[in-house]
Chains A and B, each alone.
Chain A
Amino acid sequence: MTEVVTKQSAEEAALDERQTRPKNIGAKVKRTEDPRLLTGRGTYVDDRRTPDALHVAFRRSDHSHARILSIDVTAARAVPGVVAILTAKDLTEATPVHAESRMPSYYATPIRALASDKVRFVGEPVVAVVAESRYLAEDACELVEIAYDPLPVVTDPEAAVASDAALLHEEAGTNVLVQREFKRGEFETEMFAAPVRVKGRFRFHRKTPAAMENRCYLAEYDTGRDELTLHSSTQVPGIIRNALSEALGMPGHRLRVVAPDVGGGFGGKASLYPEELLVAFAARRLGRSVKWTSDRMEDLTATSHGFDEIIDAEMGLDHDGRVMALIADVIGDVGAYSIYPWTCALEPVQVVSFLPGPYRIQNYRGAVRAVATSKAPTGPYRGVGRPISTFVTERLLDMAARRIGVDAREIRLKNFIQDHEFPYRIGSGIVWDRSSFTDCLLAACKAVDYEALRRRQAEARSAGRWLGIGIASYAELTGIGSRISVAPGMPLNTGTETAKIRIDTTGGVTAAFGVASHGQGLETTLAQVVADKLGVRVEDVRIIQGDSNAVPNATGTYASRSTVLAGGAATLAARIVRGKAFKAAAHLLEASPDELVAEDGRIYVPNTNKTTTYKEVARAVYLEMGRLPPEVRGELEATSTYDPVLGTTTSSTHIAVLEVDPDTYTVRLEKFVVAEDCGKLINPLIVDGQVHGGVAQGIGAALYEEVVYDQQGQILTASLVDYVVPAAAEIPPMHVVHMETSSPAIGGYRGMGEGGTIGAPAAVANAIADALAPLDIEINELPVTPERLFRLIEAAKSRTGDEK
């Protein structure tokens, strides 16, 4: 099979049904990853023992924006154990990497391992000290002297767009690194005609993914073969391999990037980093293995941030609450560089792409500018843009509902795209396939007993309590295929995935993929798919992933893609391998391949004593010459590439129930319910886990988490004391309801790794606004800290003259 497969026929799916007895897909299979991770035997990059590895410490910029005048490393070089000190001048043979794109008006900032000429954010690496131990490298780092000429800081994205603003990248001629606009329908006239108009300025403050494992890179270099293996805590080993190949001028067959156990990513490990380039470069330059392990301060200051947008939005509706038009202007504060490979457009453009949400909004205009500031670069963070778009649209709907006097549930039901309207192209051009938009809302309301909850709220209100109920519905595009992947014009294919399945001489099944699990349990879910489609047991299957060598075009795990794409590819490849094994087995059993069934590793003709095993078939194919004719002794191996072309639509409704404490203005979440449609579930344990974790991050985004820079561009949230990640006491009990509408993708799966974070901020914001409705307070800024609530409530009280 050489072609890329975009769909399977009904006959092929029926063949799987006839020839196997699936028992794993849909079951709560305990994860194969767990025993090693529970006993301290996992291998994260920093756990790898590499004798004689050198360690890197970075001297980073303490200026927001400054010209580098001079660097003096004399004293640092004299520290015993220091092997090399590198600055940008030492890296001239390393080619800068650019996140290219065909988007008009886009400027791709050069990405270098170390700052040259200028620094553009606090925490940017300037000097790399390489020493025999990390302690010595850090000692020497302190002795590096850098003289700077400070330049005007660029921290306010709105000021940065002014024509006289200081420029971060002079060559770009502007701080606006890209701008785009989506238009559809008569948005201006419809807005003007709308009898009900609600609008607001919405502010989503900057977050950081804060995976529990800090980034870590270890380059092992074989001088004799000029081969380099980078062990990287990355979500995208194949993409990093491609970038390193370009930067180092080395072909991919001598470059390998391995992501072993990875301690969470959430998007923060889905991009190329300067430290990754430096470690690889230094290993080759010095002919030694070189390692860098980030500390938490480096993580909070120099791992990609996200979710930093200002949105001016207006929604026009008729008297019944049907949306007539939506208009939004978005400024994305993207930080100092356009990150590789996603570009700085990724998040802000997603905001305007998804603002119309799951609703019938045909008259739409969304304009966006991605503005460079002297802060850490932004990149993908779980949900990418959609937590922000959902926050804005769901807030506007609630504001309109309150204005019109309809219930929050009713206004959504009125506006949802209906089942008979799919596939549906929304105002930004995205096409939704059929997914449970309405049913998710109804299921979530049922799960919380919505009517009873509203009655309880009325009682609480009459007792003077601030109890709120917040609904947020959204749809997201997951498992995207080649046609969507090509849209931003990046030289990168996220739209296909390959599975390479082989049965070896011993009957062992190995399935290799380009994806890279970093907590999602793909070693288990993909083994469930392969096991069911081959007809073997889960424990008979070994999954290889997280390795750029696994398949020719390794990709990685991001964008809620891995189960849909890799699951589809696994289905295709397993079917071919099973077909080959059945041909051989048919010879051994003197039966027809059509009669055979595979189950738990056995291959048999039902209701007869004709039975063999994959293990015996493998021996016959590979070892026991004479048992089989040559035409069925081909290797039990297949490679299949799957491309879902458009992708799948995942939908969900979140409901948050909370109470605001009138004395401390803290928000106490009482309950959180999610009804979601991710198509066919492979492992309900893992699906629930993804939802729970995503919601917790969304609650963090709504109530606690904020990266703060002061006016000088100094970061004030450089520790986990200052950047507040929610702990167990802040997260409420959760309940998840699954809808399972089959998707057009092979297997009927839909992606679901990000949704929790998309719905939760909006649901919490709506619940707080609902709790404070008696004070007529709108929540337009996240996170809603007690301080922000205090200001809002005090202002409302002075407006109404009500002192208590």
Chain B
Amino acid sequence: MPRLSATSRHAVSFVLNGRSTTADAEPRMLLTDFLRHVLGLTGTHVGCEHGVCGACTIHIDGQPARACLTLAVQVDGASVRTIEDLAPEPGRLSVLQAAFRRHHALQCGFCTPGMLMSLDAYLAANPEPDEAELRKYLSGHLCRCTGYVPIVAAALDAAKRLREDTANA
């Protein structure tokens, strides 16, 4: 990684939700602040800024990552996907998002974007999750509203429907 001057701003060029994007950031700027306040994508939430709550989870090069523990300049050259890109098109929900709605797996909605981004990656890699594994995986996310019961149910339901979609495709 190149050495960056702390006192100047640097151009960060990356792919954001499928589009080439360039914007300036100080080296110390967190990716959360960059996404939210420089680029205006406020769907990525900030719950703790110390990597525990998981609300800020996004995808960097296809892997779930904590945006609050990432500097904006670190995504130079990377591909970033945020909650704004999860639905297939405006006005429609993804299978996972629809399952969350059906099961009432969100209340205040603050932890939800991070949960969805994590589960989206997890279900892609683990199409047949078992409940205990899923609960362990979800421990990287805190939700204060739902008691996790409907989140687990929604994730298992979404996994089943995604398997059926794959089988029918």
Contact = CB atoms under 8 A, between A and B. Distances in A.
Given A212-B143, A727-B141, A728-B135, A38 B97 contact: yes
Contacts of A35: 93, 101
A215 B107 CA distance: 17
B65 interface: no
B48 A296 contact: yes
Contacts of A731: 147-149
A31 interface: yes
Interface string B7-30: 000000000000000000010110
Interface residues of A, number: 57
Interface residues on B, range: 35 or more
A518 B144 contact: no
Contacts of A645: none
Contacts of A697: 144
A744 interface: no
Nearest to B140: A727
Contacts, number: 171
Given A38-B116, A46-B46, A263-B45, A733 B97 contact: no
A697 B50 CA distance: 22
A725 B50 contact: no
B78 interface: no
Interface stretch (A64-72, A317-325, A415-423, A682-690): A682-690
B129 to A, nearest CB: 12
A49 interface: yes
A37 interface: yes
Contacts of B40: 49
B83 to A, nearest CB: 4
Given A689-B146, A696-B148, A719-B50, A33 B102 contact: no
B107 A720 contact: no
A39 B43 contact: yes
Interface in B121-146: 134-136, 138-146
A264 interface: yes
Contact of B108 (A40, A210, A518): A518
B55 interface: yes
A295 to B, nearest CB: 6
Interface in B77-134: 82-84, 86-87, 93, 97, 100-102, 104, 106-113, 116, 134
B151 interface: yes
B83 A39 contact: yes
Interface string A723-748: 00101110101100000000000000
B152 A728 contact: yes
Interface of B is mostly: loop
Contacts of A262: 108
A692 interface: yes
A209 B102 CA distance: 27
A536 to B, nearest CB: 22
Nearest to A700: B144
Contacts of A134: 33
A773 to B, nearest CB: 28
Contact of B36 (A47, A213, A693, A727): A47
Contacts of A124: none
Contacts of B26: 135
Interface in A7-49: 30-31, 33-35, 37-44, 46-47, 49
Contacts of B148: 692, 696, 727-728, 731
A247 B162 CA distance: 56
B57 interface: no
B135 A729 contact: yes
Contacts of B143: 212, 728
A214 interface: yes
A138 to B, nearest CB: 11
Contacts of B82: 40
Nearest to B107: A519
A209 B86 CA distance: 30
A214 B47 contact: yes
Contacts of A719: 48, 50, 52
A134 B73 CA distance: 18
Contact of A295 (B49, B52, B87, B151): B49
Contacts of A38: 87, 93, 97, 100-101, 106, 109, 112, 116
A39 B147 contact: no
A717 B28 CA distance: 26
B71 interface: no
Interface string A190-205: 0000000000000000
Contact of B97 (A39, A213, A689): A39
B60 interface: no
A693 B110 contact: no
Nearest to A211: B144
A186 B135 CA distance: 52
Nearest to A209: B144
Contact of B145 (A46, A688, A693): A693
B149 A733 contact: yes
A520 interface: yes
Contacts of A30: 101-102
B72 interface: no
B109 A519 contact: yes
A266 interface: yes
B33 to A, nearest CB: 8
Contact of A727 (B45, B116, B139): B139
State the 4 A-B residue pairs at the shortest beta-carbon distance, nearest first: A40-B43, A37-B109, A263-B110, A519-B108
Given A35-B93, A688-B150, 9 more contacts: A39-B97, A40-B82, A212-B47, A212-B111, A263-B45, A519-B107, A719-B48, A727-B138, A731-B149
Interface of B: 26, 28-29, 33, 36, 40-50, 52-53, 55, 82-84, 86-87, 93, 97, 100-102, 104, 106-113, 116, 134-136, 138-152
21 contacts: A38-B97, A39-B93, A40-B43, A40-B86, A210-B144, A212-B53, A213-B47, A214-B46, A264-B107, A293-B46, A296-B49, A686-B104, A689-B104, A692-B146, A694-B147, A719-B52, A720-B52, A721-B50, A725-B144, A727-B141, A728-B152
